[in-house]
Amino acid sequence: MSTADERRETVLRTAMQAFAARGYYGTSTTEVAEAAGISQAYLYRLFPHKEALFIALINHCAWLMRERMSRCLASAESTDPAEVLTTMASAFRGLAAEERDLVMVLLQANGAASEPAIRAAVRDCYAKQVEYVRAASLASDERIRGFFADGMLGNVLAALDVAAVDSPWARTLCGPGHGHHSPPG
């Protein structure tokens, strides 16, 4: 990997934290460059503008999700569509637990989709994920829609740390077996 490729990876990791915390509109390229240990001028050589950086980050998140699901499916023992979807959901939950910023970036990307280029990148991300899930699971459109609906709700619940809320509404949204616990106190 070239030095520029290595720097791009470093910038994407740094940008993931910054954009997860403050979103597209609240994050400056200056703070991303400083956190990555590079000049803003060098950041602009790697990514011509903030929008390009954010789109690269969306694409990076899509790659991370697909990579994790692919690795988990490689060791799956069943080809039953429902079991494949369960394996993929588990793979994503594991990734989301390790990379909480990824979930936040995905939510921030949805929120910034009023920008045409970001909207196109988010659509492309969804399209790639849906087609990958379709090809890997051979599930019906209804099951795939349910898979993504549950995943999106799970992202929102994770972002809001609803698992730490001990109340009927939180238990309803989290569903059975999602490890509700009382908030620390």
**pLDDT at position 2:** 65
83 in a structural domain: yes
Residue 97 is predicted with a pLDDT of 87
Structure token digits, residue 48? 């011509």
CA pair distance 172, 174, nearest whole angstrom: 6
> Do the domain assignments include residue 79?
yes
Range(s) of the domain holding residue 139: 50-174
Neighbours of 104 (CB within 10 A): 21
- The CATH code of the domain that includes 65 is 1.10.357
Total domains in the fold of the chain = 1
Tell me whether residue 24 is in a domain.
no
Structural domain contains residue 137: yes
pLDDT, tens only, 82-100: 999 999 999 998 998 888 8
Within-domain flag for 32: no
Question: Is 166 a domain residue?
Answer: yes
Q: Does residue 122 contact residue 109 with C-beta atoms inside 8 Å?
A: yes
Query: What's the confidence (pLDDT) of residue 182?
Result: 34
For the chain, which ranges sit under pLDDT 50?
Answer: 179-185
Distance CA 136, CA 138 (A): 6
- Domain-located, residue 72: yes
Please state, in angstroms and as integers, the Cα–Cα distance from residue 162 to each residue in 83, 90, 114, following that order. 26, 18, 27
Q: Does a structural domain hold residue 18? A: no
CB-based burial label for 27 (10 Å; 0-12, 13-18, 19+): buried
